[in-house]
Amino acid sequence: MPGRARTTAEGWENARRRGGGNDFVTVRLCGPGVPLRVVVDTSCFVGNAPGEVWVRGADARARDLDDPRSWVDLVPRIPVQPDTRHQLPVEHADPVTHVRLDVYPDGGLARFRVLGELEPGPGGRRDGK
């Protein structure tokens, strides 16, 4: 959603797990591009924020998204704080078409944003067409 979350109801809240594993979301970008920064926003989530996040990217034009080796770290697995808007620099400079956010062990997020530059040309056009 656009803007900042005003309540937890405007975010993504997942149930606590009793076993192993974690929740994640995979997002297809509007076009191939180079991510420069990601925003992982835990605003409004005080008692149910994740403890850590991991952000990876993949280029589906060249790799199979079902192959774990296709994914490269954009932001390594790092701790995050509750009720905080984390602005995280990206460590990878190649274009991607998809971004995956993993949360550990699980928990709520207000917003997840990927900011960067679209790749010029078809599929990543900057000319507005």
Local confidence pLDDT in tens for the 129 residues of the chain:
677 877 777 778 876 667 777 889 999 999 999 999 999 999 988 888 899 999 999 999 999 999 999 999 999 999 999 999 999 999 888 999 999 999 998 888 999 999 999 998 765 555 555
pTM: 0.86
Domain that holds residue 61: 23-118
Q: Are 12 and 108 in contact (CB under 8 A)?
A: yes
Position 50 in a domain? yes
Position 18 in a domain? no
Beta strand pairing call for 52-58 and 23-41: unpaired
| 56: helix, strand or coil | strand
Position 13 in a domain? no
Spatial distance between the Cα atoms of 71 and 60, rounded to a whole number of angstroms: 10
Position 99 in a domain? yes
CATH, residue 53: 2.60.120.260
Position 5 in a domain? no
Q: How many domains does the chain have?
A: 1
